[in-house]
Amino acid sequence: MEYKKELIYSEYLQRENDFTRAEYQPEFEFYNAVKRGDVELVKKLCENAFSEKAGFGTLSKNALQSIKYHFAITAAMVARYCIEGGMEHSESYALSDFYIQKADAAVSRGQISDLHHTMCLDYTKRMNNLQKRRITSMPVAKAVDYIYDHLHTRITLPAVAEYVGVNPTYLSRVFKQEMGVTFGRYITLKKLETAKNMLQYSEFSATEIAAILAFANQSYFTRLFHEEYGVTPGEYREQSLFKNELGQEQENN
């Protein structure tokens, strides 16, 4: 069971393959890569021209105007994700407005594609710098990396401190100072964020997700999820399905 959990979580981290029982949505991968400040991954995901992206609905009879509308939608989504990641509202929306105005003045689909690449890397590099400013010490940076790679296990402060090479008490203190939350609270938040992702973009049941992310049991997972988000895992999945279906209907109309 432990090997299976590690394999499933490894696939989640790699972002290269679908979940075993559900298709992973590339848009989620892209927006979160920008939010994390993952410059190399964003460069890779932007290799294909934005104007040639498959699945775009027709938002205008004019092909150029249609791609401009899609660019504006993308700019708004990137802005919102970066705000969630800690970017100031004013900075994020100012950037979005700037690039939308640039797109509005474009005279070709190729210019839109080039501008999309520039915009996404601009946001990503800013988020990367923001993350670096947040994590100022090597012990905390290494601890965060360890946590992210081991969310499928029961993570303890002594184990992480040993991996980092510092005293547990010291790690606990500097972690709280630099991350703004306690070590244990940070782990819980990251596990719950991952659970939200899996509920929205996979078909794993709440019981399976609780096991994959090493919660004590489903009841404990459900209680923590409800305390954090105000809904149960099942209710959150239903809301996500409704939003996805509504978004698809709007795109097709």
Closest CA to 183 of 132, 140, 133: 140
Closest CA to 154 of 6, 27, 4, 38: 6
Cα 23 to chain center, whole Å?
16
- The per-residue pLDDT for 242 is 58
**What is the secondary structure of 89-147 as a DSSP string?**
HHHHHHHHHHHHHHHHT--SHHHHHHHHHHHHHHHHHHHHHHHHHH--SHHHHHHHHHH
How far apart CA 16 and CA 25 sit, in angstroms, is 11
- The per-residue pLDDT for 247 is 47
Q: Which residue has the tokens 């012990």?
A: 139
Cα 3 to chain center, whole Å?
25
- The per-residue pLDDT for 173 is 95
DSSP summary character for residue 218? H
Please report the domains of the chain, with CATH numbers, ordered by start residue. Answer: 2-22+136-252 (1.10.10.60), 28-134 (no CATH)
- The per-residue pLDDT for 1 is 58
The 10 Å Cβ neighbour count of residue 13 is 12
- The per-residue pLDDT for 141 is 86
Do the Cβ atoms of 57 and 50 come closer than 8 Å? no
- The per-residue pLDDT for 5 is 61
The percent of the chain in helix, strand and coil, each rounded to the nearest 5, is 75, 0, 25
Closest CA to 132 of 97, 86, 171: 86
Q: Which residue has the tokens 């973009």?
A: 201
DSSP H or E stretch at residue 8? helix 2-14
Handedness of CA 192, 209, 16, 140 (dihedral sign): positive
Handedness of CA 223, 225, 229, 235 (dihedral sign): negative
DSSP summary character for residue 24? P
Do the Cβ atoms of 229 and 236 come closer than 8 Å? yes
Q: What is the pLDDT tens value at each position of the chain, 253 positions in all?
A: 565 666 666 666 554 343 333 333 567 788 888 998 989 889 988 887 776 665 567 788 898 998 899 899 999 999 999 998 889 999 999 999 999 999 999 999 899 999 999 999 999 999 988 877 766 688 998 998 899 889 999 999 999 999 999 999 999 999 998 888 999 999 999 999 899 888 887 888 999 999 999 999 999 999 999 999 999 999 999 987 755 544 444 445 4
Do the Cβ atoms of 42 and 33 come closer than 8 Å? yes
Do the Cβ atoms of 178 and 137 come closer than 8 Å? yes
